[in-house]
Amino acid sequence: MTLLIMAAGMGSRFGGLKQIEPVGPNGEFLIDYSIYDAIEAGFTKVVFVIKKENEEVFKETIGKRIPNTMKVFYAFQDIKEVPQDFTFPEDRVKPWGTSHAIMAAESLINEPFAIINADDFYGRDAYQKMATFLRENEEENQYCLIGYQIHNTLSENGSVKRGICITKDGLLEKLIESSVERKNGDIIATPLDGSEAFKVSDTSLSSMNMLGFTPSLFPYLKERFPLFLEKNKEQILKCEYLIPDSMYNAIREGFAKVSVIQTSALWQGITYKEDKEKVMHTIQSLTEEGEYPSPLWER
């Protein structure tokens, strides 16, 4: 099993490269804990999707500390990697999004794989649930999404973007990408497509971009990228080819089914600078409880 870590994005609201922000008792990064939990769950290979200009800093700060039990590869998301008949807009500076990032790793992955964000802490249970799915799944076009109770994913410092899961019989029917925050005791989701805001319960499931796939995803994304570019030609400087949208389209077209697997894990992340203290406290507590060794990589 392979863990694909999407690390090409810069944290615009946080400021700086969140992926190498120390949060552990001995200067560990969030990525360190992701890789540690993945190894414990049985993953044997990691692929980082990064910007080419960040290759050296990633190899020096993250790559060299990963145990030899984990094979490490790098894929590079290149903004100019577009279909041959497409004229690249020279004013475009924003990367093409998470579906485009995944496409960059196609030549490196021929086995079941999970994707995560580099700047999120997903928790041990989530990796174990994902590993079980990837091991047991026998259908080429059966994917999965790890669902977190929405109240376990909020920031005390502002709104956050979350995918609200609409499910039926354990399968994903739709993801409503929304800006979510607690207001006057209620959790309010405001869809990013401009639809009317709605209230969600504390235990509603949300996606944190921890998704499980088979290699059948790669040709699907590649074939539909030109269609995405054509559809968004009027907003070509800002549009993003995002994996939640691609996954929803795959469901709608009957190409794939997506199981939603609930985790008991507590998600942690640094959306805002002020979130860092809470994340550090959580990791410190987990370390003191024996969940993680300290230092992390010295067993």
pLDDT block averages, 10 residues each, the chain of length 299:
85 47 88 94 95 84 86 93 90 91 97 93 95 97 96 86 93 92 92 92 93 98 96 92 93 96 89 84 94 86
Answer for the pair 106, 222: CB distance below 8 angstroms, yes or no.
Answer: yes
- Read off the pTM: 0.91
Q: 164: number of CA atoms within 13 Å, CB side? A: 22
First vs last Cα of the chain: how many Å apart? Answer: 23
Domain boundaries defined on the chain:
2-288
Q: Is 202 helix (H, G, I), strand (E, B) or coil?
A: coil
Sign of CA dihedral 40, 7, 277, 191: negative
Answer for the pair 164, 155: CB distance below 8 angstroms, yes or no.
Answer: no
Answer for the pair 79, 109: CB distance below 8 angstroms, yes or no.
Answer: no
**Which is the CATH superfamily of the domain at 2-288?**
Spore Coat Polysaccharide Biosynthesis Protein SpsA; Chain A (3.90.550.10)
For the chain, what is the largest distance between any 2 Cα atoms, rounded to a whole number of angstroms?
56
Sign of CA dihedral 232, 181, 194, 174: positive
Answer for the pair 208, 121: CB distance below 8 angstroms, yes or no.
Answer: no
The pair phi, psi for residue 76, each rounded to 5°, is: -120, 120
CB burial class (10 A; 0-12, 13-18, 19+) of residue 33? buried
Q: How far apart are CA 128 and CA 43, in angstroms?
A: 10
Per DSSP, what are the bridge partners of residue 178? 162, 191
